[in-house]
Amino acid sequence: MINIPPFGIVYFQQRQKIMIFAARILEMILNTTTYRAFFRTATALLALACACANPVAPTGGPKDETPPEVTKSMPANQSVNFAGDRIILTFSEFVSLKDINNQLVVSPPMTEAPEFSMRGKNLTIKFNEPLRENSTYNFFFGDAIVDLTEANPLTGFSFAFSTGPVLDSLSIKGRLINAFNLQPVKDAFVMLYDSIYDSVPYKQRPYYLAKTNKNGEFALNSLRDSQYLLFALTDINSNYLFDMPTEDIAFLDTLVRPVYHNSRPVATSASDSVAKVLTDTDVTTATDSAAQPDSSAKALPDSIAVMQVHDHHDHEGHDHEHSPAENATINPVAISPGLPSYTLFHFREVDTTQRLLKGSVIRKNVISLAFRQPVRSLTLTTIEPVLSENWNITAWNKTRDTITLWLPEPGTDSLMLAVADAGMTPDTLDLALTPSVKTVSRSKETTPRTPVLSFKNNLKAGKLRPDRELILTFPDPVSTASIGKLKFFADTNLVEPDVAFSDSLQMLFTFRNKIKEGVNYRIEIPDSTFFNLFGHTNDSIALKFSALTLEETGMIKINVATGLPHPIIVQLTDEKEVVLEQRFILGPSVLEFNYLPAKKYRLKAIIDVNGNGKWDTGNFLRKVQPEKVTYFPKEMELRSNWTMEEEWNIE
């Protein structure tokens, strides 16, 4: 006898009814009288259906915005004495995995990534390596688990178990921020090392790790009681080691010890909403000291003993699935304010390996050499052709990591050049001294134009600050200047121009005449007034300008109070952190920023510990933190003809 399942019986019954109905219809058609009656009835019903039809697209109902839930798991979340090679999670709906390789964080980290497989509503995670004995494992999925229909994420889902009889229960929280601009750093690893020696991040994978969220916040849970080195890493090559010079890091000066507290992340139903990630306020001042434990934090034993509940087994040895009541999830970053919080400052170490990054010809007979580090002892040797001793004119940028070379009379179209610096392997360049030009059709061919000597000025919309001088900036050194050709007018009055080059290469030509408000100025520069070292000269030009007035600008006055013994660099920036003005102070000072356009401004201070006039990064092996940065706590919106005065205590 064939054993037909219940759903099969229903199917066969429905099919039998359909066949009987079809037979009756056929019988009606064969009977002419009945056929006519049937046709009239069917036509009337069809017309009525068409008349009643409303041609509106069907609605699909409200959009599904509910994330999936974990309804069962094997083993139960927060189980102990786990000895299997996989875990199985069952969800309330069909799910998929999104960016699982980047979202999933396993602590302690695994050498071999686990395998994931979906079957129905079950997610199986199979381990490809033996688990450590007597260790608590925590799987943080981030936003990797999403439902199949609308991709709603199960945010912050975490699954933990122990391979021993106890489940470690201590926690550490904190925040990772950029050391230079104090912005949060997301998707960086925060690591704990139980083996503590100077080079451990270079040689050993961490024992625990977490990943920062979009606010830079992190939490490490299920920790055992011990002292740890706290270290953060932007792991470019995904090997959990600090082994690349372009990887950004952060570290704490002292060892940390996790604590247990009375509002530890507790087991909650998987359907509960995830608590808000931490509660720290926005960081406006960077400090390098660790937060001290709150009085509510309790230094209890490192682990909570968990009573092992033995599962019932059927005779075939299969585990029964845990009920939803047994299953629980942990919100990995819902930690009470009583837990001490650590602030880490993210930075990139200076790569001390000197290297020539780029050598190029920026225009005919002008070479640019860019180095990774400031040049200490540059050596340039011409190979082909061999040029005379004074074959170039040299200029450096402010940081001495870029050099410009002018070749007044190379006598060749190409140059092979050997470049070397202290601690650098010599590099050889083969340069075409005339850059390639875009070809044009024969119909558009014209006589080559003689290059014109151009220059820039520091006027903005035809305005100049009364406390500034007008400066003409040339791209190449000027060899000849016929100053007598210049004409300087104040309104209609001809004034004797007070001019001079303010640099040794004669590239900065300065008008030192005092500029006054309410006066219109005009400078006439005839052609052939300036010649550069290549013999190029200028076209005639006239500059018209006037002085900015107090009525159309504003002023910011800052009374700085500080007891710091170090110099302080105070920067006035715009909303995008472009530095507009910079002042150096030592001790309490009054700073005035005059003739400012009406817009929003920010103030930034760098504690210049080594007094070199710039911000310096940190170094892990030397245990040097990056120089401290702080911001004035509010943005300043300046209006025309306004003076804003503020008090700023820099600590």
- The predicted pLDDT at position 57 comes to 47
Mapping DSSP onto H, E and C, the string for 82-94 reads: CCCCEEEEEECCC
Kindly list the structural domains of the chain, giving each domain's residue range(s) and its CATH number in brackets, ordered by start. Answer: 70-162 (2.60.40.1220), 359-432 (2.60.40), 456-547 (2.60.40.1220), 554-650 (2.60.40.10)
- The predicted pLDDT at position 427 comes to 94
Among 172, 191, 25, smallest CA distance to 105 is for 191
- The predicted pLDDT at position 221 comes to 87
* CA 639 to chain centroid: 33
- The predicted pLDDT at position 137 comes to 92
- The predicted pLDDT at position 72 comes to 94
Rounded Cα distance between 69 and 93, Å, is 8
Residues of the chain with pLDDT under 70: 1-61, 261-338, 437-448
Rounded Cα distance between 137 and 160, Å, is 5
Question: Could you tell me the maximum CA-CA distance found in the chain, to the nearest angstrom?
Answer: 121
pTM for the predicted model, two decimal places? 0.72
CA-based R_g, the chain, Å: 38
Q: pLDDT of 274-328, one tens digit each?
A: 223 333 333 333 333 333 333 333 333 344 333 333 333 333 333 333 333 333 3
Query: Which string of b and e fits 412-449 if b means at least 16 CB within 10 Å?
Result: eeebebebbbeebeeeebeeebeeeeeeeeeeeeeeee
**Pairing mode of beta strands 499-501, 229-233:** unpaired
Both structure tokens of 305 = 């003993």
Helix, coil or strand: residue 438? coil
Phi, psi of 39 (to 5 degrees): -65, -45
DSSP annotation string for 481-492: E-GGG-EEEETT
Cβ neighbours of residue 379 closer than 8 Å, sequence gap 6 or more: 418, 419, 420, 421, 426
Phi, psi of 125 (to 5 degrees): -115, 110
- The predicted pLDDT at position 131 comes to 94
Cα angle 546, 551, 552 (rounded to 5 degrees) comes to 60
Rounded Cα distance between 392 and 535, Å, is 16
- The predicted pLDDT at position 335 comes to 39
In 31-185, which residue ranges form alpha helices assigned H by DSSP? Answer: 32-52, 100-103
- The predicted pLDDT at position 324 comes to 32
Query: Which string of b and e fits 50-84 if b means at least 16 CB within 10 Å?
Result: eeeeeeeeeeeeeeeeebbbbbbbbbbbbbbebee
